[in-house]
Structure 1
Amino acid sequence: MKIFISTGEVSGDLQGALLVAALKRHAVAAGFELEITALGGRRMAEAGATILGDTVGIGSMGIIESVPYIWPTIKVQQKAKQYLKKFRPDVVVLIDYLTPNLGIGSYIRRCLPGLPVLWYIAPQEWVWSISPRNTDLIVSIADRILAIFPEEACYYQKKGAQVSWVGHPLVDRMQSAPCREVARQTLGIGPEQVSIALIPASRRQELKYLMPVMFEAAQILQAKLPQVHFWIPLSQSVFRSKIETAIADYGLRATLLENQSLEILAAADFAIAKSGTVNLELALLDVPQVVAYRVSLITAIIARHVLKFSIPFMSPPNLVQMKPIVPELLQDDATVENIVFHALELLQNADRRQEILAGYRQMRESLGDVGVCDRAAAEIIKNVKLNTAS
């Protein structure tokens, strides 16, 4: 069986790796040969996929921010189309990654009719769709959507898609996370240390627009709380020098580590995090957090005043329940003062911390049971068999 998977960015590589591992388990159990080729990154390669193109660094959030990635996106789409035409797989699995995967999916529908396409983790049009065009395209491309959020499943079903809700793959990932005590021991964190996880960037633009305000807030917290130490998981190796320079410039007591993100998150007393998958990881580890996000001023003005762009929430924990479980500070609200205020509140106010933890417990009920990736893998294999039989 030949499977082609297309995804991008740090989070896509993580979700893709979990899926590749599950598909490999199913192949071994059923006794069939499995060949997986993918657009992805290091994690997917380590899980057993052959990487056609590295897409971890090709991604952005915003209008102006996307410009540098137009040509890299076109190139990776061309490479995928050439591969699909020459080595037609049994099924294509698209994971999130809206713009590149719309291009690849549209090509399949035009030029490779009959090739099954499943969209695992559909783009969040159900949260921030500006027009129905992208939603209609997703529905027309995907033979089946494997949804990870209940709201996502409902949205795409109402739009006419065939949908299976499988649950959120981070439920599976957290099974391998260390407990707080083990994580702190692994990192050498003493009982007196207040450990704050700083998660400034998984995209290059976030180093420019988000890291400075986050590090300035950390600088103030460090002055107020002498027992604080900051721990920063490195999402991409190419970010190391810029983050190390910023740590020195702001005089932070901070440790930057690569390939130890789960240990850092599990050991934390609190986190200041960019919006993204990491928010859900922190929630599943019961770590209180404040979420911040900023884009360029031009993007913000266009989104707000021209596109009339508005979203109920941005971080996954709040999206799961559609209510404010964790504080979100977006654009103009993502100030040093606001980050410091919420950080001190969540570090020093036991009642407020308990409110967050209670929200996390309620949120977990909407994420599905363990075995998410195996359920997704089973759906993919089932669709291949059905297509072959017909």
Structure 2
Amino acid sequence: MVHKTPPIRIFISTGEVSGDLQGSLLIEALFRQAKKAGILIQIIALGGEKMASAGAKLLGNTTGIGSVGILESIPYIIPTYLMQKQVKHYLKEHPPDLVILIDYMGPNIGMGNFIKHNLPTIPIFYYIAPQEWVWSLGSKSTAQIVKLTNRILAIFPEEARYFQSKGAKVTWVGHPLLDRMKTAPSREESRRKLGIQPDEIAIALLPASRWQEIKYLMPILFEAAQQIQAKIPQVKFWIPLSLPEYKIAIETAIKTYQLNAVLVSTTSYYQTLEVLSAADLAIAKSGTVNLEIALLKVPQVVVYRVSALTAWVARHLLKFSIPFMSPTNLVQMQAIVPELLQEKATPENIVQEAIELLTNPQKRQEMLNQYQQMKQALGEEGVCDRAALEILKSLSL
């Protein structure tokens, strides 16, 4: 087919490792659906390597400049500002036909407001809106999100309900990981590939996808791992590497804590899934990975910690309070997996929860049953294609 018209230009903005993954899945679906419809599209993006591999032209790499917390975000303010300044200048010179924001609240609200003000005719979609529906700290951010977006494509049922009640146009598409997990390897296949012996207890350790987690979380997780190893000698830890720049820090920590551990350099998402699906248990930081672990039917303990000062400011000045942090618990607002947050994130508590899940078949089964119910609440497969169709449909082609 000869395309006489120029390609439709779509700009996608996201940050961090999980945003890069979600962005890449959406990009694949956009190209797939555009091809079916005989539409030529071009995607430019702020994101990471996965999005570039899926076919986007990267204007800046944001996977390494993300954080959770107030103090923790300070080192990233200037790099984020400079990258955004450059991209905003580019967008003014080369306006896209459509904009998609994915999560990444602070920077994306700034980007959305800039586009709304300077390029007011361009439709803005928010796919995977920031989790205001969980920890709404007053309605300022929510109001901004509603004002700057033409449509929110929600992945959680509660997210859809919340933004709809605030006046946004919302379409609930379901959770994109449902699509990704269709091709996940089986436990048997993964254990065989990784060379895990039948009598070996494999524990997946997921300490970090941000630098702050290397500092605040990894020592706690590794100390807990050391204690578990002392109690259960047939344990071996498997650590998928989220970003290559963390390799030396993690290898050094493995030696320091004398862990019987393998650091798996994951060049593909599939390799990460192999480590997760092979595990008898996962001990993980809070994040999208918790849902992946749940969909692979692996029991897990979720841990998170920020600096003591950030925690104090959040609680006492911002009156910050959340029912749950892990996406696994957020789907139905139910305590499916144990969450050890801040002061509760101690090696002793992690060890206690981990040993309980390894040795109590009833407790394991209960968690697996709840995983199954949670999966049903995530919607139907074909999420990314549904989202892509909604986006392309809006261009009135």
- Work out which of the residue numbers 174, 187, 192 in structure 2 matches 1:167: 174
Q: Which residue of 1 aligns with 2:5?
A: none
Distance, in Å, in 2 between the alignment partners of 1:364 and 1:79 is 41
**Maintained 8 Å contact 1:80/1:104:** no
Residue from 231, 236, 240 that aligns with 2:238: 231
Q: Corresponding residue for 1:258?
A: 265
Deviations 1:51-70 (A, max 9, x none): 11000011100010010010
Between the aligned partners of 1:156 and 1:32, the Cα distance in structure 2 is 31
Give the structure 1 partner of residue 360 of structure 2.
349
Pairing partner for 1:61 from 65, 68, 93: 68
Structure 1 residue matching 2:46: 3-state secondary structure: strand
In the alignment, the residues of structure 1 paired with residue 388 and residue 87 of structure 2 have an alpha-carbon distance, to the nearest angstrom, of 22
Partner amino acid for 2:344? D
Contact kept in structure 1, 2:34 and 2:40, CA below 8 Å:
yes
User: What does residue 311 of structure 1 align with?
Assistant: 322
Instruction: Supply the distance in 2 between the matched residues of 1:104 and 1:140 (Cα, whole angstroms).
Output: 13
Shift of 1:80: 2.0
* Pair 1:40 & 2:47 matched: yes
Tell me, in whole angstroms, the C-alpha distance in 2 between the residues paired with 1:69 and 1:131. 24
Shift in Å, 1:16:
0.3
Runs of 4+ in 1 over 4 A off after TM superposition: none
Q: Is the 8 A contact 1:209 1:296 kept in 2?
A: yes
**Within 5 Å, which residues of 2 pair with 1:1-390?**
1-259=8-266, 260-385=271-396
Q: Does the aligned pair in 1 maintain the 2:30–2:388 contact within 8 Å?
A: yes
Q: What SS does structure 2 have at the residue aligned with 1:229? A: strand
- For 1:107 and 1:308, the matched residues in 2 are separated by 29
3-state DSSP of counterpart to 1:321: coil
Superposed displacement of residue 79, structure 1: 2.0
Partner deviation per Cα, 1:304-331 (whole Å, 9 max, x = no partner): 1111110000000100010100000000
Measure the CA separation in 2 of the matches of 1:57 and 1:210: 17
How big is the alpha-carbon RMSD for the aligned residues of Structure 1 and Structure 2? 0.8
Query: SS in structure 1 opposite 2:340?
Result: strand
Contact 2:200 2:235 in 1 (8 A): yes
Following superposition, the deviation at residue 381 of structure 1 comes to 0.2
Deviations 1:324-364 (A, max 9, x none): 00000000000011000000000000000011001101101
* Number of aligned positions between the proteins: 386
Counterpart Cα distance in 2 of 1:34 and 1:269 = 43
Which shows bigger deviation, 174-183 or 150-159?
174-183
TM-score, normalisation: structure 2: 0.96
Opposite residue 333 of structure 1, the aligned amino acid is K
**Does the 8 Å contact 1:180/1:266 carry over to 2?**
yes
